[in-house]
Structure 1
Amino acid sequence: MSDIRADVLDGARHPAEQPKLFGHAAAEAFLARSYRSGKGHHAILIEGPEGIGKATLAFRFANHVLSHPEPAQAPETLADPSPDSSVTRQLAAGASHNLLHLTRPVDEKTGKAKSAITVDEVRKAGKFLAQTSGTGNWRIVVIDPADDLNRNAANAILKILEEPPKRALFLVLTHAPGKLLPTIRSRCLPLGLSPLSPDDLAAAMASLGVLPSGPRAGEVIAAAHGSVSQALKLVNYGGFDIVEAFRAIVGGAGEPPRRDVHRLADVLSAKDSEIVFGFFCQQASDFVTEAARAAALAGDIGRADRLAGLSSRLAEKLTVAQAYNLDRKQTVIGLLDDIRASL
């Protein structure tokens, strides 16, 4: 199993180490009841925006199942993982023989996560599920997120989901269920999670010890839209500065100073800037989507159609740039120019 702390944001805990879950009591209750009934589905598709607790819920439920392998004897609720439990310690250390966390592998040459979950990773899941559990316990695969499966990997997962072994459980996470193969969605039980409320987000950030004091706390909560990961990027990765620079460039009157464009592009293309680059791309995508929606509501159908087309083109360009490792600075400059030209 790879290092469970790979790709964990500064200030965050890995979901397997998170002692609390905020804002999803109804989903926890549903999973607990479903499991206890003995009629639970073998594959749960946990849906919702990034950073709202999907992976934490998955690991809490996995802890519950592995701690109570006989459904009829399981409690009616999910408890906070006990630090004294061997199951909790194994999951936190990434050392459980009964759980496989399927996520983007690390490239041995660069030391960075690859752009997709590959078919080789899915083959590991096949071997993992084929093994006979020495304890007769459950075998759980957490796919985190299924959005990162490339085409071959998605087809390989589909074959496993079609004929799952006994006492196997799949917890499939997705930020964008519409992008998954319909055949994968059809073989899973959907469980939708909503963004955290302001109070729940504040509690989650406070539990991590990273909620700013004073008025800045309110700004973070408002700008994060119910996502802990977005809040962490705003607080610990200069997210507010990135948003401010982006909006000044695309929203200002006249041509923006090229030095400002290049300064932002330099920040986003610096070494080890994957997180801030991803944050910027999401902000840019959200900005264009909101602009298209506002234009449609205002009756400016031509502008709305132009911006909707731009949204699709930007997503395609970013996918190609990532797949072929294109120059990130030029990608950012081109994206900014495209947005300004379409506004």
Structure 2
Amino acid sequence: MSEEGKLTPRNSANLLGHFEAEKTLLESYNSGRMHHAWLITGPRGIGKATLAYRFARFLLKHGQSGGADEVDSLFGDALPTVEPDSLTIDPDDPVFRRISASAHADLMTIEREFDEKKNRFKGVIGVDRVRGVGAFLGKTSAEGGWRVVIIDAADEMNRNSANAVLKVLEEPPAQAVLLLLAHNPGRLLPTIRSRCRTLTLNTLDDDTLVKLMADHAPDSSPEEALGLSKLAEGSFGRTLSLYEEGGLDLYNELTRLLSTLPQLDVEALHKLGDKMSRAGADEAFRTLGDLLCWWLGRLISQGARGKTSGLGLNESDDALMLRISQNADVNKLMDVWSKAGSLFDQAISGNLDRKQAVLNSFLALEGALKR
């Protein structure tokens, strides 16, 4: 369970920017012939899990009027005759509170397991995490309504766990719903994708992200929120994470160092490396790696498409990218982008010193600019 008071998809009452997706789910429910499995896709942090929990609350609240004796062998026949016009459930509702407290008997959530020894989440969802899904969905509902399983994220399942879920999808129980979230649906088995109805969420626009930041990070200024939203490229989760990690200040430090190219300020580079190697700087180091790769990706995009504006946060960023792109081959920049990502990953996994990862990444970029 998350820390008390912290915003999580499980306890978020509101969802902005995905009206059409909510409308699709609601219309499907009201039709009386709702699909047994939904594949909710889109980039990380745009609201997939928030939508899934929102729909789960709705089903577990409104589905109680459909008893088991009203259901036949086809999925989704027991639906209320009064059609709800919104997925919204009051935060004070008992169903909302129980789901928020991970205490609803008819909801199962599957996520990656946290490795206490390594102090991080495991890389995949193993078969032990999904083994009970079939049995859970096969039981009679504890509250006389629906049973719901949320898998976050389905594209993180290994092959054994994916096959276990596939078996459930092949013979779906009545009045049960699987909500599979996927950041990269192409990683899923084609047979899983074919048995789900896909619901694709779009990235959020800057105005929506600024509104969300005003609600969930009221200490942030509109200008800061706008800058962070551009770095996050439409992901609220990413925007909030960058805010909590001082992402805008870190980005400004990054671009100040990059502005010294083609001859890096070695003293400033070492200071940045020392800062990232300190105890407690794990998340800042991860954020720096993400920002560097984001910046390099935009730089490569400029070189490939000849774009000269709108790639950075402001005109100064655009000018820096233009200057550097004019002095580097796109293929060399792609090599640097790949190398930097690998170096930061190695350091995060503990196989490389963090300062060395910083030094080597920036020096690789410097080397790519020398003729």
TM-score with structure 1 length normalisation? 0.83
User: Would you say 1:134 and 2:159 are equivalent positions?
Assistant: no
User: Would you say 1:114 and 2:126 are equivalent positions?
Assistant: no
- Alpha-carbon distance in structure 1 between the residues aligned to 2:300 and 2:360: 20
| 1:303 alignment partner in structure 2 | 329
CA pair 207-267 structure 1, distance change in 2 beyond 3 A:
same
- Alpha-carbon distance in structure 2 between the residues aligned to 1:150 and 1:263: 40
- Alpha-carbon distance in structure 2 between the residues aligned to 1:209 and 1:287: 25
| 2:26 alignment partner in structure 1 | 32
| 2:247 alignment partner in structure 1 | 239
- Alpha-carbon distance in structure 2 between the residues aligned to 1:333 and 1:159: 48
How far off is 1:286 after superposition? 2.4
**Bigger-Rg structure (1/2):** 2
Q: How does 1:1-343 map to 2 (within 5 A)?
A: 3-5=1-3, 13-69=7-63, 70=66, 71-73=79-81, 75-210=83-218, 212-213=220-221, 215-250=223-258, 252-298=260-306, 303-308=329-334, 311=337, 325-327=350-352, 329=354, 330-342=356-368
**Per-residue CA shift, 1:125-182, capped at 9, x if unaligned?**
3443344433343222212223433344334333333333332212122223334343
TM-score with structure 2 length normalisation? 0.77
Aligned CA RMSD, in angstroms, stands at 3.2
CA pair 62-236 structure 1, distance change in 2 beyond 3 A:
same
Where structure 1 has 5 or more consecutive residues not aligned to the other structure, the ranges are none
**Larger RCO: 1 or 2 (CA < 8 Å, sep 6+):** 1
CA pair 67-266 structure 1, distance change in 2 beyond 3 A:
farther
AA of the residue aligned to 1:118: G
Contact 1:158–1:184 (8 Å) recurs in 2 = yes
- Alpha-carbon distance in structure 1 between the residues aligned to 2:22 and 2:189: 26
- Alpha-carbon distance in structure 2 between the residues aligned to 1:214 and 1:127: 48
- Alpha-carbon distance in structure 2 between the residues aligned to 1:152 and 1:313: 31
Where structure 2 has 5 or more consecutive residues not aligned to the other structure, the ranges are 67-78, 308-324
Contact 1:65–1:138 (8 Å) recurs in 2 = yes
CA pair 160-310 structure 1, distance change in 2 beyond 3 A:
farther
CA pair 163-97 structure 1, distance change in 2 beyond 3 A:
same
Query: 2:218 is paired with a residue of what secondary structure?
Result: coil
Q: Percent identity?
A: 36
